[in-house]
């Protein structure tokens, strides 16, 4: 287990140090939870345009449930595993920490989980009208996940775990949404 943690730390330092001061502002912006609001507004527009009002309402209500689910599950994991974030560790002196607030524990990344959950959920819904919606949203989620490493908040293992859990939850919520829309919104 110590070897896995050491590998995660080494990979963190490598990925965290890929950046430069020129790009710091960009990654701090990407990691901020409000930076994706224009994307969310655009996705809401696409849903309404292609789906109509009632299915869009079902979809948005499930988005709220999905985000709540990923966030609360991340909190349970953080409290159970109590894995310190990289920004709490002494070795961070070799890396970059760009945000003042660090937080206590970091296993797994709620940002990575929520963004990947939304990518799988909305990407699967929108791919019927937009061929590359799923791939584009997965790319966006991966960028958000990497931003958590770049700013010093999470290990790569935290991000990867969050992305996998998010993908699973996003796909399950997609299946639920499809059933609800077929049964109640058609």
| 176 has pLDDT over 80 | yes
- Radius of gyration from C-alpha coordinates of the chain: 18
Total structural domains in the chain?
Answer: 1
Q: What is the pTM of this model?
A: 0.89
In degrees, rounded to 5, the angle at the alpha carbon of residue 73 between the alpha carbons of residues 59 and 34 is 60
Condensed to tens digits (0 to 9), the pLDDT of residues 63-87 reads 999 999 999 999 998 888 888 888 7
Instruction: Residue 168: give the domain boundaries.
Output: 33-185
26 domain residue, yes or no:
no
Mean pLDDT along residues 33-51: 94
16 domain residue, yes or no:
no
Q: According to the model, what pLDDT value does residue 120 have?
A: 97
25 domain residue, yes or no:
no
């Amino acid at each position: 287990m110590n070897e896995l943690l050491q590998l995660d730390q080494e990979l963190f330092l490598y990925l965290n140090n890929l950046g430069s001061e020129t790009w710091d502002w960009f990654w701090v912006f990407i990691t901020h939870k409000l930076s994706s609001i224009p994307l969310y507004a655009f996705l809401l527009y696409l849903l309404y345009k292609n789906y109509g009002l009632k299915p869009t309402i079902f979809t948005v209500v499930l988005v709220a449930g999905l985000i709540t689910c990923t966030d609360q599950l991340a909190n349970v994991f953080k409290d159970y595993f109590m894995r310190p974030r990289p920004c709490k560790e002494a070795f961070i002196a070799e890396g970059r920490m760009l945000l003042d607030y660090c937080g206590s524990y970091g296993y797994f990344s709620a940002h990575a989980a929520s963004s990947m959950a939304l990518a799988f959920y909305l990407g699967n819904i929108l791919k019927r009208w937009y061929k590359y919606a799923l791939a584009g949203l997965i790319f966006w989620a991966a960028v958000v996940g990497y931003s958590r490493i770049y700013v010093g908040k999470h290990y790569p293992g935290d991000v990867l775990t969050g992305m996998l859990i998010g993908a699973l939850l996003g796909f399950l919520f997609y299946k639920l949404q499809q059933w609800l829309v077929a049964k109640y919104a058609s």
